[in-house]
Amino acid sequence: MPSSGYRLRDVEHHPLLTENDNYDSSSSSSSEADVADRVWFIRDGCGMICAVVTWLLVVYADFVVTFVMLLPSRDFWYSAVNGVVFNCLAVLALSSHLRTMLTDPGAVPKGNATKEYMESLQLKPGEVIYKCPKCCCIKPERAHHCSICKRCIRKMDHHCPWVNNCVGEKNQRFFVLFTMYIALASVHALVLCGLQFVACVRGQWTECSGFSPPVTVILLIFLCLEGLLFFTFTAVMFGTQIHSICNDETEIERLKSEKPTWERRLRWEGMKSVFGGPPSLLWMNPFVGFRFRRLQTRPRKGGPEFSV
């Protein structure tokens, strides 16, 4: 569009959408309040299975800790304190998982590459903008297209099937909390398993559990394996996420060795931008900003996500 004085870069050289194109422009012009009322969810089979498996494994761990190890114990305070701590970690982990999965990671409005929108940007002559040929949107800086979400995501770090969503600008905080609480719960479960094995061996497997010795051994061994796998995975992910935040560099940008064209927010500035505000206990709270939304189905075009 040389007459407008700016240039549109498009890898596949797709033209801008016109009024006659098959695109409902009213869907991209919805108000911010309307967008905020939607619950984001990706209808991906693999992601939904992984999310359900994650919940089942956490519920299994809670069952073994509560009914196999703590309730049969004769020490009331040992059972009460450890039960409260572990269940709190489990609730916080699952709440963080839900917030990560049901929060819009920073999706760019689909199909906003129209002439009207281009004119509203008031671009300077010679300024270069980028259009995604897959979802027909104007790509902001640091946005990348997700082939599973079918959308361009601002500051996309990666797509995680275990939370059935992309980790991006708006939900990275909840993903970090999810990995942290799962890692802490895994360590707690491993410690309790070790103490339970010692207690059962000393008591010759009598009255150390409400289940038979073979069943108790199988349940504890499986929980130990689960705890080791979960701790290893989430601890590594937590470390890489904190490193990325402190260096203001997403995993995609690091893998592609993209040179930063933005002003980096290093260390605490990066943490503040992700978690919001100065350091406080609110950083650890996955319920911050949560509010119940009215359940109302809304049809969407051309994408696997739906809103309620």
Catalytic residue numbers, as ranges: 160
Q: Report whether 174 contacts 100 (CB < 8 A).
A: yes
Burial class (CB in 10 A: 0-12, 13-18, 19+), 28: middle
DSSP state of 207: S
For residue 234, give both structure tokens: 């989430």
The type of residue at 103 is: T
266 CA to centre of own chain: 22
Closest CA relative to residue 172, chosen from 234, 260, 245: 245
For residue 306, give both structure tokens: 């739906």
Determine the 3-state secondary structure of 222 from DSSP: helix
Distance from the first to the final alpha carbon of the chain: 38
73 CA to centre of own chain: 37
